[in-house]
Structure 1
Amino acid sequence: MNAATPSPRKEESAQQRWDRIPVLKTGDDYLASLRGRGTRLFLFGELIDEPADHPIIKPSINALRASYDLAIDDPELATAWSPLINDRVNRFLHIVESPDDLVMKNRMQRRMGQITGTCFQRCTGLDTISVLHSITYEIDEKHGTHYHQRYLDFLKEAQRKNILIAAGMTDPKGDRSKRPAEQSDPDMFMRVTRRTDKGIYVKGVKAHMTGGWNQHWICVMPTMNLTEADRDYAVVGMIPGDAEGITYIYGRQSCDTRAMEGGEIDQGNAQYGGQEVLVYFDDVFIPHEHVLMDGEYEFAQDMVARFTAYHRASYVCKTGLGDVLVGAAASIAEYNGLEKVSHIRDKLVEMVHLNETIYSSGIASSHEAKKMPSGIYMNDAMLSNVCKHNVTRFPYEISRLAQDLAGGIMVTMPSEQDLENEEAGEIIRRFLKGREDIPTEDRMRILRLIENMTLGRNAVGYLTESMHGAGSPQAQRIQILRGMEVDKKKWHARKLAGIRQEA
């Protein structure tokens, strides 16, 4: 078939796309929903037949599964009542109706971090549906479009089906000195390639998408402010993760092949991990019902700014990981027989102080949320940016202190295979012991966990993601500069100094 006669699957209607997704209630339901989708995913240069069963991918799936399990185990924390369908829904699919909803979101995110010790890949989807509520409403107000009702209809189905949504925001960008429409390769930013009576086609790439393959839908959206010349790049749409025309390329993580070695000690955290994918959209179809922006370029900057206000406060999730790392550092000190030494205690106090400073700014931004014209609440932007700016720094210091307490053996320790060898294992168990009453294997497991979170696979979610996720440090500094209201502060200072000035 050529481009003029697309396959039936290519131009599926919105309803056909929903009909292919079952209602998910449990973690087992979620795992089953990922199998047999027929997606194209490359890992280590090979096209993977069934990604859901690959040992490198499984830990990231388990981290998302935990969000289903938590909703069952602790519904007060991880679910909320939805007025859209008059039923309880997973909090990761809930519209923010009050500041308290944002506070509960932060508490849930911290708990998920404690459970998984990694990036659990759902915050971007929640923050996407949050920002789209106000943006679609305001586009409709200005242009008389019908995006907001489309958004509500989509969210109702998402809540009924209990599905996952990935955020596709970051474009490759190409030559950073040029705008999207100026690039020599027009696909460096996602764009609409053609429009039909049924919908639109989009082409481009979304980079390092968090949990991209693991989720049922992808919301593609602009990554920066746009001009009239960039009109075709001003597109927001909901696309099934198994839509025809999508190719995934799995991102590498430090020490990722340890998952293929057998055993679990050397992985540090064998059960849970994060995921990033490069996603290529080759003329992928979006039916009109799932198009939420098409050409309204003047709203792109507001959408990005509001998304970051939500998402930068979402980085309180890193305090859950921080809790795990503090616990690991305290454990290795205890296993070494040093838990009562004053400088050890002082370092643990500093780790907790930094961790709670992150949490306090994030949760403060939720308490100070403001109501938008559409009725949804949005985090205080200043405090959200302060939260994320703290996250670009403090996890690195927390990690440094954890490594300090762990000692060099964390990165020079023999392998699990050596531990299981009859001759080598006897030497290891004898000479890598700390306290007499603590098994050597337990000491090795804690050391590997610290390595995993500060240097290994889950350092991706705890450190580098903390630096660059939701914008690099300078992006927060720009937003802080815009909102710092220096003139007001000068007025107060000059008033107290007795300097005459206009009121």
Structure 2
Amino acid sequence: MIRTGEEYRAGLRDGREVWIDGERVKDITVHRALKPIIDIRARIYDMQHEAKFQDGLTYIDTNQRSSSLYRPPRETKDWTDKTTAVDLVLNEIGGVVTRVGDETVGEMWSLYDGRDVLAEIDPRFADNIDRHIRAVVENDIFHVSANTDPKGDRSRPPQDQDPDMMVRVTRETDAGIIVRGAKYETASAYADQAFLKPTVGAWSNEKLSDYAVGCIVKMGAPGVKHICRAGFAGRTDPADYPLANRFDEVEALVVFDDVLIPWEDVFFYRHTRAAQHVRATLHRYSAFPYVLRLLYTADMMIGAAMWNAKQTGLDKLQSVREKLADLVCYREGINAHLTASIAAAQRSPGGLLMPHQSMLYAGRVFACSNLPTMMHIARELCGGQICITPNAEAFATSGPDAWLNKFYSLNDNWQAEDRRKLLAFARDLLNSDYAGHRLTFVQFAQAPHFNHLAAVYNSFDFSGPLDFVRKSAQLSDRVAGQPEALQ
């Protein structure tokens, strides 16, 4: 059944080992760095129970109500329902969050498409993925992704250095497998479970088979240690940094110190073909909600820039309108890729409906690679005051308040306080430590740029352009049968 926010919080009080700023956290639900994002995830759970949101966020599945975000997609409406649900959530919380479960559960659907590969190893492994997909839906589980290992010296194979630099299976037991190593994960400290999967690799050398493991890890399991980066929330006045204090999604180095993975939670291990399949298909579904978040980031940049231009009358200048149009083209470019990928959706090997792959992956490249440029355009439109405006305390302090109110008030509609709020918002969106962190996160959250391009290359059907040029150039029929080199 759909959970409540309090049920979610109660599940986090399971004795899990979470460290932040050198402190072992006793209750993560009240820690200053983690509480804001936990409260947002709890709010999403509570929204599902409210009449205003319930129809847009949930559906009836086998006589129980479940989250639309977690529903395996089998028809176009399933995707439009997910888009509607994300829109309801982000407008209700008033910002953008990436890791809340819907953008990672798709990785499980990719694994479902590879059931035949899993069944080659052991039929029970294929059954495990079926059961876990049902469990996420039926129990409303906050499910995240364990993807990136520390890796160590990448010029050397893991066996020639500390072998824990990549997660590996150390031994089997009657109860399950034992894993060691570490992963960097977003939201692990406040999630229920993670899909632990092999990192990017060639997976053609049998010596690496100990590292070819895929399984579910409970985030409160014995031996799992979350060593979080310093959070942005609670370090500054929310009036000055409104986004960082509400929407910081805290990452952690998650250490697996001889963690037992029960057999029912194992999808594959010591099987390089399964590792190859996972890496090749990992984002065929999850890229959609991930790129959809960037659509809302674009809306925030357009809104911040447009309000800054309107408050001073600069929106009437053609040069300003051209830059605003650049932001709009970026936003609508993302929208077009997402819309087209669903309109031309493809049936997956497992019978699910996946977004058109090359359109979706091309949209991800467009959204991620152009974001730095778009942020700079938004900075230009907001002007230099986003980096020189005094903080909220100065506006409220007797003495400077009179001068600040004088020079920051524009007219009856734009008084100093509203203008200060807008400049603070734009600064946190575009210029702050939090803004820089989010930009870096976007560049690597679904693998680096070269992997994004590889996904486009591997999913695009080159036969159409090849055949068109063969006919137009009047090449001989021999050419049509040649090309592994051209494929």
Normalised by the length of structure 1, the TM-score is 0.86
* Equivalent in 368, 371, 393 of residue 344 of structure 2: 368
Mapping for residues 433-448 of structure 1, pairs under 5 Å: 433-448=409-424
| Deviation at residue 357 of structure 1 after TM alignment | 0.6
Q: Which residue of structure 2 lines up, in the alignment, with residue 12 of structure 1? A: none
Query: 1:123, 1:400 → 2: CA distance?
Result: 30
1 or 2 for the larger relative contact order (CA 8 Å, sep ≥6)?
A: 1
Indicate conservation of the 8 Å contact 2:117/2:273, yes or no: no
Question: Following superposition of structure 1 onto structure 2, how do residues 8-407 of structure 1 map, counting pairs within 5 Å?
Answer: 25-34=3-12, 36-72=13-49, 73-82=52-61, 85-109=62-86, 112-114=89-91, 115-121=93-99, 122-135=101-114, 137-180=115-158, 182-207=159-184, 209-225=185-201, 226=203, 227-252=205-230, 256=232, 259-268=234-243, 270-314=245-289, 315-407=291-383
- Whether the aligned pair in 2 keeps the contact of 1:64 and 1:120 (CA below 8 Å) is no
Q: Distance in 2 between matches of 1:499 and 1:236?
A: 47
Pairwise CA distance, 1:375: 2.2
In structure 2, the residue corresponding to 1:286 is in which secondary structure?
Answer: strand
SS at match of 1:260: coil
Aligned-pair distance for 1:144? 4.2
For the residues of structure 2 that align with 1:305 and 1:477, how far apart are their CA atoms? 12
Counterpart for residue 394 of structure 2: 418
Residue 487 of structure 1 and its aligned partner are, at CA, apart by 5.8
Name the aligned partner's letter for residue 126 of structure 1: V
1:91-141 CA deviation, whole Å, 9 max, x = no partner?
232212234423433454455445442333124432222222223x12344
Q: Is the 8 A contact 1:274 1:461 kept in 2?
A: no
SS at match of 1:463: helix
Provide the rounded CA distance (Å) in 2 between the counterparts of 1:472 and 1:147: 30
Q: CA deviation at 1:354?
A: 0.4
CA distance in 2, matches of 1:284, 1:389: 36
Q: 1:499 to 1:145 in 2, by over 3 A?
A: closer
Query: Using a 3 Å threshold, how does the CA distance of structure 1 residues 159 and 309 change in structure 2: closer, same or farther?
Result: closer
Say if 1:438 and 1:459 are closer, same or farther in 2 by CA, change over 3 A.
same
User: Which of 464, 468, 473 in structure 1 is aligned with 2:440?
Assistant: 464
- For 2:474 and 2:138, the matched residues in 1 are separated by 62
SS at match of 1:320: helix
CA deviation digits over 1:214-245, x for unaligned, max 9? Answer: 11112211122423222221222222211111
The verdict on how the C-alpha distance between 1:48 and 1:107 changes in structure 2, with shifts beyond 3 A counting, is same
TM-score by length of 2: 0.89
* Residue 485 (structure 2) aligns with: none
**CA contact under 8 A between 1:453 and 1:462: conserved in structure 2?**
no
Which segment drifts farther, 66-75 or 87-96? Answer: 66-75
Aligned residues of 2:70 and 2:102 also touching (Cα < 8 A): no
Say which SS state the counterpart of residue 179 (structure 2) adopts: strand
Query: 2:483 aligns to what?
Result: none
Q: Aligned equivalents of 2:434 and 2:60: distance in 1?
A: 33
Change (3 A) 1:158 1:310: closer
Q: Alignment identity in percent?
A: 23
**Whole-Å Cα distance in 2 between the matches of residues 318 and 31 of structure 1?**
28
| Residue ranges of structure 2 left out of the alignment (5+ in a row) | 481-487
CA distance in 1, matches of 2:124, 2:445: 32
2 CA distance for matches of 1:268 and 1:429? 24
User: Hey, what's the Cα distance between the residues in 2 that align with 1:70 and 1:402?
Assistant: 32
Contact between 1:319 and 1:359, CA under 8 Å: does it hold in 2?
Answer: yes
Q: How has the CA–CA distance of structure 1 residues 268 and 156 changed in structure 2, closer, same or farther, with 3 Å as cutoff?
A: closer
2:265 and 2:29 map into 1 onto residues whose CA distance is 27
Q: Is the 8 A contact 1:266 1:416 kept in 2?
A: no
What RMSD over aligned residues (CA atoms) do the two structures have, in Å? 2.5
Q: Secondary structure at the match of 1:309?
A: coil
Identify the range of structure 1 (192-201 vs 326-335) with the bigger mean alpha-carbon deviation. 326-335
Question: Aligned partners of 1:111, 1:179: CA distance in 2, in Å?
Answer: 46
Amino acid at match of 1:173: K
Matches for 1:447-458 after TM superposition, within 5 Å: 447-456=423-432, 458=434
Residue range with higher mean Cα deviation, 300-309 or 259-268: 259-268
Q: Note the C-alpha offset of 1:44.
A: 1.6
Q: How far is 1:206 from its partner?
A: 0.6
Contact preservation (8 Å) 2:95, 2:243: no
Pairs aligned (count):
472
Shift of 1:24: 5.3
SS of residue in 1 equivalent to 2:169: strand
Deviation at 1:298, TM superposition (A): 0.8
| SS of equivalent residue, structure 1 residue 265 | coil
Deviation string 1:228-275 (CA, Å, 9 cap, x unpaired) is 22222122222221111111111246xx26x23445333346433322
Task: Identify if the C-alpha distance between structure 1 residues 128 and 478 changes in structure 2 by more than 3 Å, giving closer, same or farther.
Answer: closer
Matched-pair contact (CA < 8 Å) for 2:2–2:66: no
The C-alpha deviation readout for 1:442-496, integer Å capped at 9, x for no partner, is 1111111112122335525752222112111111222333344556423312423
